[in-house]
Amino acid sequence: MTDLFRNMVLLLLMGTGLLAGSCGDGKQEVAPPLPVIQEMLEDTASAYYIDPLGYSQSMKMLPIGVIGNSADDLQVVETLLGLDEFDNITGKPGSDGIRDFAGEHFEFLCLPSFETLSREDMIRQIVRLFRQQDQRPPVKALVVAGDLVPPEVYDDLKDLIGMGNLGIITVSVIQAGNDKALEYVHKNNAGRDKRLTVGVIATDGAFSINAYDCLADVTQVVFQAYEDKETNSTEKAIRFAMTSLADKLPVNNQARMKYIVLGAHPLLQHRELIPELLTFLRNYRKDDRYVYRDLLDSDMILIEPQKEAGIQLYRAMREERLAAFRTTPSCVRVYEIEKPDLTKYPLLNVCINN
């Protein structure tokens, strides 16, 4: 990128002063792109330099990159492998019996010590997926699956891609969940200020970066951390999280909980339990009264950020003509992680190729 173009971008950013926030329709002040971004795009001697020529080949045959910070983030890959929300001939919504990402190749990069990295080092680690490395090609799309990637780092990545004209599609699982929740709230809550409650079950890591705080700006939100280390059982952890979430709803609350964002990836491994638990809680009686019935909507909507991210990714790939449409099976390669427990991920178990 030339200095002239870079300066034009910087002037534009500084001149506008406002940019859409990570939760969709909020506004926030932004600073010029970080120096590390300029280094990656212009300093050919840098170990982090990204060569635009790496994207001169047909991008549609490149893999999809998924960045995570724990083995649980493999659930996002599992969700993508099983997604069937579109007709693959027309691209229109509707299942056609063929998985939406059939034939796509995936590169999963796990950075387990992510929380110890600076903002700049987070960017340096993630963009490893943007460079050719040995036999690993650069990626055509990036799915941020980890719950320790702050919104500002995701915005940095979009700055990098835009300024370098790399053409890489970016999707954030957390943001996709927020987008869907906000869509529901704005659609069904219009004119009834904060009359519906959104529940969020996510990890402590997600809450530590204020990943879902934007929802509280438009409606009532109840947060519950998911933790399975003490129970050593995903099913027990889900039961505990669901009950604890219901217990946090204020008594005599006029804003029934209508939506639950399933932000913690392990929740999807036993998703069938959640409707059962909601029915149990609504029917639970103590001292001859229903404890939770007035607090939980009878038609609860479960929001799966992982699926919503897949939908956003599919639409973007169709729009940019980046779908591979291979007739061969999908392939997944996993880096920087001990061999995962593949019994949790039956589709991944078939596709994995380390």
Domains and CATH numbers, the chain: 3-173+306-351 (3.40.50.1860), 175-304 (3.40.50.1860)
How open is the CA angle 111-113-114, to the nearest 5 degrees?
Answer: 70
Tokens of 31: 């600073």
Record the pTM: 0.89
Strand, helix or coil for residue 186:
helix
C-alpha distance from residue 24 to each of 27, 178, 182, 212 (Å): 9, 8, 8, 12
Measured in degrees and rounded to the nearest 5, phi and psi for residue 21 equal -80, 175
Question: Residues 6 or more apart from 354 whose CB is under 8 A from it?
Answer: 333, 334, 339
Chain centroid to CA 281 = 29
Provide the residue-wise pLDDT of the chain in tens; the chain has 354 residues: 444 344 434 434 444 443 344 565 555 566 778 999 999 999 999 999 998 877 766 899 999 999 999 999 999 999 999 999 999 999 999 999 999 999 999 999 998 788 889 999 999 999 999 988 888 889 999 999 999 999 999 999 999 999 999 999 999 999 999 999 999 998 876 544 457 899 999 999 999 999 999 998 888 999 999 998 777 788 999 999 999 999 999 877 668 899 999 999 999 999 999 999 999 999 999 999 999 999 999 999 999 999 999 999 999 999 999 999 899 999 999 987 777 888 899 999 999 874
CA distance 42 to 51: 9
